[in-house]
Amino acid sequence: MSTEPVLRLENLQFGYDPKEVLIHIEEFEISPGESVFLKGPSGSGKSTLLGLIGGVLTPQLGELSICGTELTNISSAQRDKVRADRLGIIFQQFNLLPYIGITQNCILPCRFSSRRRDRAIAAGGSVVSAAEMLIRGLGLTDDQLSRSVGKLSVGQQQRVAVARALIGGPDLIIADEPTSALDHDNRDRFIELLNLSREQFGSALLFVSHDQTLATYFDRSVSLTDLNQKVPI
């Protein structure tokens, strides 16, 4: 496994208004395979930071690299490729597509990334087989696998979202408040399942939440409030 950080931020500065800084992070890294809990209250800039890491937003100053690729010096098309190849994202609302099946939802990242498609084929013999292995490994039965997305429970949809993020072994999984709709017991089971699954692929994890009680499930806990300097640009 490479020792190069999967994520590195250095003097990163961003604000929607050029005169007002929302994010200013001097230095932050995530190592390969590491799980990091990023906590912060609502309005602290967590979603904005994820937009920067995902290449959707561009910082005014500083450096942001994913697996050694500096995102601030490349085109939007190149940033899209890095995101597709290197990142697996679990959205708060899951963002599953209701008009395609569960397996097809899971293999979507492989349609945008040949790297992840090749890794999925190496793991399962085919992309579909790799997706079905992942989904079953996350606890869905063959009967549930044949249902439409809309007929799955919230917990089952969540497992499909995790399988979609994991397929093809991305270097970094980003989870954006994925447990906000779960009760205490299901929340804990979900995090344990997520950690177990991504460890099998050697993927790092950045888990974002305002719930500080979750911090014990991760290798390291970081407060965005402490990390963010927020000084004028």
In SS3 terms, 112-169 reads as: HCHHHHHHHHHHHCCHHHHHHHHHHHCCCCHHHHCCCHHHCCHHHHHHHHHHHHHCCC
Is 98 inside a domain boundary? yes
- Strand, coil or helix: 42: coil
Is 1 inside a domain boundary? no
Is 65 inside a domain boundary? yes
pLDDT of residue 174: 95
Q: Is the dihedral of CA 141, 143, 147, 153 positive or negative?
A: negative
Largest CA distance in the chain: 56
Q: Is the dihedral of CA 70, 76, 77, 79 positive or negative?
A: positive
pLDDT of residue 233: 45
Is 155 inside a domain boundary? yes
What six digits make up the tokens of 21? 């800084």
Expressed as residue numbers, the domain containing 197 is 7-227
Is 232 inside a domain boundary? no
Is 38 inside a domain boundary? yes
pLDDT of residue 1: 56
pLDDT of residue 148: 87
Is 31 inside a domain boundary? yes
Angle between helices 114-124 and 76-86 (to 10 degrees): 10
Is 156 inside a domain boundary? yes
Who contacts 37 (Cβ-Cβ below 8 Å, separation ≥6)? 207, 209, 214, 215, 217, 218, 220, 221, 222
pLDDT of residue 159: 86
Give pLDDT tens digits for 180-206.
767 787 788 888 888 888 888 899 999
pLDDT of residue 203: 93
Q: Which residues of the chain have pLDDT under 50?
A: 233
Q: What is the number of structural domains in the chain?
A: 1
- The CA R_g of the chain, rounded to the nearest whole Å, is 18
Angstrom distance (rounded) from CA 172 to CA 203: 5
For β-strands 23-30 and 7-14, DSSP reports them as antiparallel
Q: Domain with 50 in it: what CATH number?
A: 3.40.50.300
